[in-house]
Each structure stands twice: as C-alpha cells, then as structure tokens.
Structure 1
Amino acid sequence: MISEVYDAFIAAGAPEDKARKAAETLANYDNRFSQIDGAVLKVQSELLLLKWMVGFAIALIVAILTRSFFH
C-alpha cells in the first residue's frame, strides 16, 4: 500500500476502508508496470542479440560470395 496516497484519500474525506483499498490498488498497478518494464528489457536484449546474429550471417555470406567470384 502507498501510504501517501492513503493519507491523501483520508485527508480528502474518503472512508478509511475505501481509502485503504484504493491505495492498495494503486500499489498493485505500480507492480504491474515494473513487471512490464522488465519484460520489455528482456525483449530488447533478445532483439539486440538477433541483430548481431543477422549481421554476422550477412557478413559471412558476403565474404563467401566475394571469395567465390574473385577466385
């Protein structure tokens, strides 16, 4: 639970049980966004590896073709 949000709801005049539930819900959303960020970072690292693999394969193909045409 986010205590600052809970305190703000109480100061605004919300009932205690509703303020607590709303603060807990907002805290859960923060956890969901952090999980999404972690998944995005994983996908980005996998894409970086894939880009390097494709680049290496293209360089290897160009080297093979160059060698076959000039020898």
Structure 2
Amino acid sequence: MQNGAYEAFRSIDVPEEKAVKAAAALSKRDDDVGILKADMSLLKWMMGFVLAFQIDIFLKMFIH
C-alpha cells in the first residue's frame, strides 16, 4: 500500500519528502484499523458469551 500511495502522491506533483511521509502515515493508519478490527471481533465474542450466559440464567429461574 505504501508504494501505491507514494506513486499516487508523486503523480499529482507532491514533493517527494511529503509523499513519503503521507504514504507512511497511510500505512500506519491501515495497521491501526487492522488492530481495531481484531479488538472488535474479540469484543463481539465476549458479548455473545455474556448474553448467552445471562439468557441461560434467566431461563433457569423460570423453568425450575
């Protein structure tokens, strides 16, 4: 991604130093988004487990 972003910035006449910095920032942003997606996936599983556990307790209160 960084190379593609760098080439895109250079094609619109952005100075080389700024193009390199911008491409690096985009690469960092992509890494951060990947980490957030992994964290959200974990939170979804945790909430699903807690919800299932609470439903089980609720049903056992009224079935027994």
Identical residues among aligned pairs (%): 20
How big is each residue's C-alpha offset from its partner over 1:10-41, in whole Å with a ceiling of 9 and x where there is no partner? 11111111111100001101111111111111
For the residues of structure 1 that align with 2:12 and 2:63, how far apart are their CA atoms?
A: 70
Which structure 2 segments of 5+ residues have no match?
Answer: none
Which structure 1 segments of 5+ residues have no match?
Answer: 65-71
State which drifts further: 21-30 or 10-19.
10-19
For the residues of structure 2 that align with 1:52 and 1:13, how far apart are their CA atoms?
A: 56
How big is each residue's C-alpha offset from its partner over 1:33-55, in whole Å with a ceiling of 9 and x where there is no partner? 11111111111000100111011
State how many pairs are aligned.
64
- Which structure 1 residue ranges, 4+ long, deviate > 3 Å from structure 2? none
TM-score, structure 2 as length reference: 0.91
What residue in structure 2 maps to residue 63 of structure 1? Answer: 63
Following superposition of structure 1 onto structure 2, how do residues 1-71 of structure 1 map, counting pairs within 5 Å?
Answer: 2-64=2-64
